[in-house]
Structure 1
């Protein structure tokens, strides 16, 4: 219906009229229409329209609806964030993704304003206006106060930490130097007197401070715990482990067990470490085995028996017995493991047992022991002997004691007598004491003087070998080399081929014949028979015999078999000789580690493949020569092979690892007992076993 009304002539006329009524006539100015007049006219028109027209809706066009020239709108330039504002307003933050800015301080301190909710009013005036608001000023004040508090707290914490570090270093130094823990407080007093910074922070209050002996003891325990944790990681990381152990008593007659471990690191470098020094209730093989198992299974340090491939001991039956001895219990857990009788102990047995087979030398050693106690009991005798030594231009030395458990003590005692023999003879011949006359009668004998010179020829050969056998990281290949060298030197001495010996010096320089009698250094007429040559032959023969018994050169000696891995003779062998060199010793190792071993408790799988091991051995000899690898030390050689050819020689690297961790001597255990006795002294005999263990851990494993 609306369409029919709009199409009628009357509607068209009215529509046209309504439109034209808004248009100005020609030459007529445009003025705003009178609103009241317009309203009256509109009412009149509405009243005269018919009922149908009043019900219709007529759209009125406004001036903007009339087509005409396009009107230009003003160009709006969008506002952008200026990144220089970040430099000028330190609290301002800009979010690239949201294209909005905010105040970091107001947000941090929980304010709610226009600058805390992605503000896009990018104007300098907006920033300046915000900087002057109460919210922002409160946030700035809070931030400044917080910064000052934080700096104060940080300064306080740093000072406390520095003071704690001083305390830890002080206790560490005390343990390293073997000083009494009671010296801790006086050490801190000294540091405070020397103006050591922050030391006063150890005094918290009048009643609470960290300068007491109890605090020092707790810090020592803490340091020791950290060191043990680090060692536990090394033990578990090593492919194999060997243990060295010995038992003794401390000054309080407490039974103690000292334990060391020999391990291999990722660079194929072996090392020996102090593990523990613990109190034991019994020294039976089973009791020691139980203590060792407890150490192996401590929390954070679990070492399976299959990983323990060597056990180094002093050779006592309780250690080496395969039945109820420690070795027997360990072999039942791991039949692949080997027991090593300490080579230094074996060598000490060689010399002591050899000397005991020569009757005169037994009496000779007893005389030296008697002389030691003769002077030990009297300061006046020592002073008189010292005066005689000065007069005769001999060194002022005290007579030394011979200890069976100290490997070099015999040589040191004999050397002292040799260097002051003229003074000793003068002292005893001039002293009126009955004991002095008895010693003078013994020492003036030709055989006593000659035996002293003889022992100075023989003992250095053995002592030199003993010193080598006590090296911390002794190369296993050196054992046979040293034993063979000592044999050759003794054979040469026995034959009398060397004219640089002490015996030769005695006959050529220090003895003269006056009236058919031998005179020593022009002062002392020697008496008695001349059996020195017989004594020499007996002693050397016995030493050679004991060397063969203690260091057998047979096909079953695993230590000697390991020595082929050093490959030192390769350069001097022809190609055909190299082809077969070392094969016999290799078979000894294959028999030990390339066959399955079974006990009632376990079955140990082979560690190496026999066939692959033989093929690797044939190739590695040519490789070492071709590459020119150094063979001075077995460690260096196999470190190179491990670094550059690890995948080519897995079986030989396993054998090399076993050779490098072999506990061929227990000199480290003796060092551990020396450290124990230096720590728990007569003045510190109340130190608990745990505290002694903590101190030894720091002293022996803590480093410099």
Structure 2
């Protein structure tokens, strides 16, 4: 009965898809409650009036997560539902290696059969993976990230510890207390965790010290020893300067209607901001978190209001740290943590977003009349992708005629029309 009802609902949708002039697929892997691997397929298509629609297409079981298995499943669905592959122009996936691999990824294997298909990996997911890879590439930053998560779990899993934290925040006059969870691929949740911890660090350290003193808690002792150090506070301020740039980028990528030209333009902007942080070193611009950090290095009350300096001196007496002043601590932090982390972040962003030319080339279809003269390079990129058999000079000749139609001819839209002379 359910299959009959499903076919009645599905039939008119498939008819619209089969008559569409342009189709795009969206693929994602998942597992159900029985841990069975499944492939989820959605489809986007344009109707005869050019209106875009998104529909669920199918969900199929796959025996493994190999690219060839996924491609075989996709082709089976397309064949079973009579989807015209000649009109298949787009493919959307996440940034997983099985989908994006250059040699044997799903996108590459499908493009071998349908070379005109444009593959778009989720930009927000690519950004999150670039940030994760940069963090995991520097040992201390990976440990820093793990301790953020441990702090969250330490207070989240105990009502008594949360009360101690709230009491400490009340004494210090802090509000909006929360130690936030860190997730690698949930749109840079680390940004929210850093904001929260920077705001609440005095309370967190006070609560941990109280747990050590009263309850002799070894977990609290370990967390306090890690978080009450020069390197931890420096890394916290570094992240507080870096992550807002990446968070803004992530929000651009999560818009319902993403302009892919914005991806090509905004990624270099974020990279330039990160590069400026690295080049500034210990001369960060006023208003930045690292500038505030440096202004507190010689504060008699301790770094940033915490007794960090005396704690490091105590570690020095035990022979674990060589302390020769705040500047030496900063030099070591910059050399061992900050510069490698920022270099890794820049390299990963460049690697994850290197193939944006084909997306940016579509800008010609929304270009203003004044920009039409500068669209030749974009047109060449698109013609090589979609019209490889067509001589380039023929395409350029047609473009010369077409752009005049856009400005003063039959295809001129209302806002582009030239004002008429008064009579």
Is the pair's TM-score, using the shorter chain for normalization, greater than 0.5? yes
Equivalent in the alignment of 2:87? 307
Deviation string, structure 1 residues 186-211 (Cα, Å, up to 9, x no partner)? xxxxxxxxxxxxxxxxxxxxxxxxxx
| Counterpart-to-counterpart distance in 1, 2:348 and 2:169 | 38
Q: What is the aligned counterpart of 1:412 among 179, 184, 192? A: 192
Q: 1:437-482: per-residue Cα shift (whole Å, max 9, x none)?
A: 1111111112212221211111111121122222232122111111
Q: 1:367 aligns with which of 121, 129, 147?
A: 147
CA contact (8 A) 1:269 1:639 kept: no
Is 2:51 the partner of 1:265? no
Q: Residue 493 of structure 1 aligns to a residue in which SS?
A: helix
In structure 2, what is the Cα distance between the partners aligned to 1:612 and 1:227? 45
8 Å contact kept, 1:461–1:489: yes
Task: Write the deviation string for residues 22-75 of structure 1: whole angstroms up to 9, x where unpaired.
Answer: xxxxxxxxxxxxxxxxxxxxxxxxxxxxxxxxxxxxxxxxxxxxxxxxxxxxxx
Q: Does 1:614 align with 2:396?
A: yes
Q: Identify if the C-alpha distance between structure 1 residues 611 and 233 changes in structure 2 by more than 3 Å, giving closer, same or farther.
A: farther
1:273 shift after superposition: 3.4
Alpha-carbon distance in structure 1 between the residues aligned to 2:191 and 2:412: 38
Partner of 1:247: 29
State the alpha-carbon separation in 1 of the partners of residues 235 and 96 from structure 2. Answer: 32
Aligned residues: 388
Q: CA deviation at 1:379?
A: 2.6
Find the partner of 2:343 among 541, 553, 559.
541
Give 1:326 shift. Answer: 3.2
Which ranges of structure 1 fall in alignment gaps of 5 or more residues? 1-217, 597-605, 628-637, 645-704
Q: Is the 8 A contact 2:18 2:84 kept in 1?
A: no
Cα distance, 1:456–1:626 mapped onto 2, change above 3 Å = farther
Q: CA RMSD in A?
A: 3.3
Q: Deviations over 1:233-255 (max 9, x none)?
A: 44223212111111121333121
Give the 3-state SS of the residue equivalent to 2:39 in structure 1.
strand
1:383 partnered with 2:163:
yes
Partner of 1:296: 78
- Within a 5 Å distance, the mapping from 1:558-597 to structure 2 comes to 558-567=358-367, 571=370, 579=373, 581-596=374-389
TM-score under structure 2 length normalisation: 0.79
Structure with the bigger RCO (C-alpha within 8 Å, sep 6+) is 1
- Report the Cα distance in structure 1 between the residues aligned to 2:137 and 2:304, rounded to whole angstroms: 28
| Cα distance, 1:279–1:533 mapped onto 2, change above 3 Å | same
Cα separation, partners in 2 of 1:520 and 1:319, compared to 1, 3 Å: closer
Shift of 1:303: 0.9
Distance 1:254 1:475 in 2: 35
Does structure 2 conserve the Cα–Cα contact (< 8 Å) formed by 1:477 and 1:566?
no
- For 2:19, which of 213, 226, 237 is the aligned residue? 237
* Structure 1 pair 620–541 and aligned structure 2 pair: CA distance change class (3 A): farther
Structure 1: distance between partners of 2:66 and 2:143: 35
| Structure 1 pair 250–414 and aligned structure 2 pair: CA distance change class (3 A) | farther
Name the CA distance, whole Å, in 2 between partners of 1:459 and 1:639: 44
Alignment of 1:192-207 (within 5 A): none
Which whole-Å deviations, capped at 9, do the CAs of 1:456-510 have from their partners, x for residues lacking one? 11111112112222223212211111112212322333344642322224445x7
- Structure 1 residues 380 and 304 mapped into 2: Cα distance closer, same or farther (>3 Å)? same
Partners in 1 of 2:232 and 2:412 — Cα distance? 52
282 and 227 in structure 1: CA distance in 2 versus 1, 3 angstrom threshold: same
Retained in 2: the 8 A contact 1:561–1:588? Answer: yes
1:513 and 2:315 aligned: no
Q: Match for residue 125 of structure 2?
A: 345
Segments of 5+ residues of structure 2 without an aligned counterpart are 313-328, 418-423
Determine if contact 1:272/1:472 at 8 Å carries over to the other structure. no
C-alpha separation between the residues in 2 aligned to 1:625 and 1:295? 43
Question: Is contact 1:425-1:524 (8 Å) kept?
Answer: no
Cα displacement string for residues 371-393 of structure 1 (whole angstroms, at most 9, x for unaligned residues): 23323442321232233234433
Q: Which has the larger radius of gyration?
A: 1
Summarize the Cα distance change of 1:243–1:639 in structure 2 as closer, same or farther, 3 Å threshold.
farther
